[in-house]
């Protein structure tokens, strides 16, 4: 048997042109992919999430084999055991990997058994490596996303006209906060990819798991190969990018994605590279004169927010995952997990989207799930794990900063200077859920009071001491103290929290 170096490709690095596979030819290495049973059993995965990762890995292995690579794609009780079995089977002397996306896999590489020579290549899945971010951040008192984003735009020459931002402004957010349209328009269609034999195998495997999964099964929504991912990118740029901006924050019960790109899972698995996504958007802007607010808003999500989240994750780990600044201890409500139904229309709609697709867009994540979890006091790590397991684009590096930092303020303001707490008014403005809901977004007491509104005021009262030195919270705290019925609000909040825990809200 030929003694080849092993290239170990993790399930979120599925790209022939990055990291340890870039420049490799069949015959000069053996490729290892491992499906860990321990990992599969570690969470209550959404069916589409679990299927997506396993199917994409199996498709990638098949593509490499078709190209002529020697591929060892194995199922094993754990990553370590799979690796150990692979080393024994092929008498491995040298292992080549790209820096993992996950903290735990990075830690695992540091304690692999045996005396194999391990070469770790720099992760090149992003515009910005976290080492570059650390250098950029080193002489700053704070490192805000906006500053990082402008630095990224400038140094990579993205949406720039010489030294100036295209159109003269860095940020067109104020054009992107329109309420949901009432014209019943059709939103950009996306291809549904045909499920093949590999998908069928994975679905059968998931069906055979002894519980531990939830949500609707795969229906071809999510690209599992690079070709499919490129199709999704092409169709977004062709039909989705133009209408994306104005309604990017709007929520509609009957429409799960509006004009969102739904490209995040492709990028997070490695099927698409962030650079090609951003480049495609900018080319469309230059060649087709697309509205700048849509193009800038989309590029901000990829070049700004996504990269920022990736970099702060590596800067703040491992302590970051145990942050719980507000001492929140509640478990994830059964109304979120599909274990109980709810009369809160906004939550019910978001859960339906999640159940159907393993996906909701960013405002449903932040202002419905995140907002209710924040104001009710859900444990940050429990919420992180739930979102990580439930969304097709979930990963530890994605969910930790988004949940602990952005949604739950569990980092005490490292990421967002004030908590994203709001009552029912915001949801009433930005969605069509309140119309027809049995609760009233304007009411804070009584049986028909909106739970979001009641819990918003209770949250402020509960955490008033924590926020007393935060000048950005001054107005909200003053508003809470002016409430003549605060005692009644807090009594109603206690009832709401009990019902939330019991799954009867």
Q: Which residues bind ligand SF4 (CB under 6 A)?
A: 344-346, 424, 427-428, 433-434, 437, 439, 441, 450-452
Q: How far is the CB of 500 from ligand SF4 (least distance, A)?
A: 11
Is residue 421 within 8 Å of residue 461, measured between CB atoms?
no
Q: How far is the CB of 297 from ligand SF4 (least distance, A)?
A: 25
**Is the Cβ of residue 61 or residue 455 nearer to ligand SF4 in the bound state?**
455
**Is the Cβ of residue 369 or residue 381 nearer to ligand SF4 in the bound state?**
369
**Is the Cβ of residue 394 or residue 424 nearer to ligand SF4 in the bound state?**
424
**Rounded to an integer, what distance in angstroms lies between the CA atom of residue 371 and that of residue 375?**
6
- Please state whether beta strands 6-8 and 160-161 pair in parallel, antiparallel, or not at all (unpaired): unpaired
**Rounded to an integer, what distance in angstroms lies between the CA atom of residue 102 and that of residue 445?**
44
Q: Residue 318 is encoded by which pair of tokens?
A: 């491992």
Is residue 399 within 8 Å of residue 349, measured between CB atoms?
no
**Is the Cβ of residue 170 or residue 452 nearer to ligand SF4 in the bound state?**
452
**Rounded to an integer, what distance in angstroms lies between the CA atom of residue 399 and that of residue 402?**
5
Q: How far is the CB of 425 from ligand SF4 (least distance, A)?
A: 8
How many angstroms separate the Cα of 106 from the Cα of each of 87, 123, 235, 478? 19, 11, 35, 46
For residue 95, the cross-strand partners are 6, 118
Residue that is written with structure tokens 């005396």 in the block: 115
Task: Please name the residues in contact with 309: beta carbons below 8 A apart, sequence gap of 6 or more.
Answer: 397, 398, 401, 402
Query: 284, 332, 309, 288: which is closest to 406 by C-alpha?
Result: 309
Is residue 224 within 8 Å of residue 203, measured between CB atoms?
no
**Is the Cβ of residue 320 or residue 439 nearer to ligand SF4 in the bound state?**
439
Is residue 370 within 8 Å of residue 421, measured between CB atoms?
no
Q: How far is the CB of 439 from ligand SF4 (least distance, A)?
A: 4
Q: How far is the CB of 39 from ligand SF4 (least distance, A)?
A: 35
**Is the Cβ of residue 118 or residue 425 nearer to ligand SF4 in the bound state?**
425
Measured from the Cβ of residue 457, the count of other Cβ atoms closer than 10 Å reads 24
Q: How far is the CB of 349 from ligand SF4 (least distance, A)?
A: 8
**Is the Cβ of residue 128 or residue 427 nearer to ligand SF4 in the bound state?**
427
Task: Please name the residues in contact with 183: beta carbons below 8 A apart, sequence gap of 6 or more.
Answer: none
Q: How far is the CB of 347 from ligand SF4 (least distance, A)?
A: 7
**Is the Cβ of residue 50 or residue 427 nearer to ligand SF4 in the bound state?**
427
Residue-wise over 369-394: b if at least 16 C-beta within 10 A, else e? bbbbbbbbbbbbbbbbbbbbbbbbbb
Number of residues assigned to the chain: 505
User: For 279, what's the count of Cα atoms within 13 Å in the CB-facing half-sphere?
Assistant: 7
Query: 158, 157, 160, 179: which is closest to 169 by C-alpha?
Result: 160
Q: How far is the CB of 323 from ligand SF4 (least distance, A)?
A: 28
Q: How far is the CB of 501 from ligand SF4 (least distance, A)?
A: 17
User: For 77, what's the count of Cα atoms within 13 Å in the CB-facing half-sphere?
Assistant: 3
Q: How far is the CB of 72 from ligand SF4 (least distance, A)?
A: 50
**Rounded to an integer, what distance in angstroms lies between the CA atom of residue 349 and that of residue 256?**
9
**Is the Cβ of residue 380 or residue 451 nearer to ligand SF4 in the bound state?**
451
**Is the Cβ of residue 364 or residue 393 nearer to ligand SF4 in the bound state?**
364
């Amino acid at each position: 048997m030929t003694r080849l170096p092993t290239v170990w490709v993790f399930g979120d690095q599925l790209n022939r042109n990055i990291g340890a596979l870039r420049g490799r030819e069949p015959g000069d290495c053996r490729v290892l992919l491992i499906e860990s049973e321990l990992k599969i059993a570690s969470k209550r995965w959404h069916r589409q999430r679990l299927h997506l990762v396993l199917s994409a890995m199996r498709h990638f292995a098949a593509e490499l084999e078709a190209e002529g690579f020697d591929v060892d794609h194995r199922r094993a009780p754990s990553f370590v055991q799979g690796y150990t079995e692979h080393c024994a089977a092929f008498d491995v002397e040298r292992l080549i990997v790209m820096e993992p996306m996950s903290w735990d896999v990075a830690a695992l590489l540091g304690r692999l058994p045996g005396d194999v020579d391990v070469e770790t290549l720099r992760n090149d899945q992003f515009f910005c490596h976290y080492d570059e971010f650390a250098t950029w951040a080193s002489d700053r008192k704070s490192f805000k996303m906006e500053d990082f984003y402008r630095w990224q735009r400038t140094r990579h020459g993205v949406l720039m006209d010489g030294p100036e931002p295209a159109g003269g402004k860095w940020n067109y957010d104020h054009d992107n906060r329109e309420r949901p349209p009432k014209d019943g328009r059709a939103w950009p269609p996306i291809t549904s990819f045909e499920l093949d034999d590999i998908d069928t195998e994975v679905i059968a495997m998931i069906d055979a798991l002894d519980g531990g999964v939830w949500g609707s099964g795969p229906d071809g929504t999510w690209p599992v190969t690079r070709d499919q991912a490129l199709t999704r990118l092409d169709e977004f740029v062709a039909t989705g990018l133009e209408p994306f901006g104005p309604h990017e924050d709007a929520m509609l019960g009957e429409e799960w994605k509006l004009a969102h790109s739904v490209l995040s899972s492709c990028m997070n698995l490695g099927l698409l590279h962030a650079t090609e996504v951003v480049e495609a958007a900018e080319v469309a802007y230059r060649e087709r004169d697309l509205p700048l607010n849509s193009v800038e808003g989309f590029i901000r999500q990829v070049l700004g927010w996504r990269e920022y989240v990736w970099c702060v994750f590596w800067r703040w780990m491992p302590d970051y995952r145990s942050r719980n600044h507000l001492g929140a201890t509640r478990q994830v409500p059964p109304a979120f997990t599909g274990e109980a139904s709810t009369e809160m229309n906004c939550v019910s709609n978001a859960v339906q989207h999640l159940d159907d697709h393993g996906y909701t867009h960013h405002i449903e994540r932040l202002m419905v799930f995140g907002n209710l979890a924040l104001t009710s006091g859900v444990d940050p790590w429990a919420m992180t794990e739930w979102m990580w397991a439930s969304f097709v684009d979930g990963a530890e590096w994605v969910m930790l900063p988004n949940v602990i930092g952005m949604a739950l303020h569990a980092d005490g303001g490292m990421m967002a200077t004030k908590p994203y707490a709001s009552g029912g008014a915001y949801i009433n403005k930005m969605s069509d859920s309140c119309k027809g809901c049995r609760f009233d977004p304007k009411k804070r007491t009584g049986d028909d009071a909106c739970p979001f509104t009641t819990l918003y005021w209770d949250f402020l009262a509960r955490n008033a001491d924590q926020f007393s030195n935060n000048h950005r919270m001054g107005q909200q705290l003053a508003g809470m103290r002016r409430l003549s019925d605060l005692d009644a609000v807090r009594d109603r909040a206690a009832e709401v929290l009990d019902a939330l825990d019991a799954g009867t809200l």
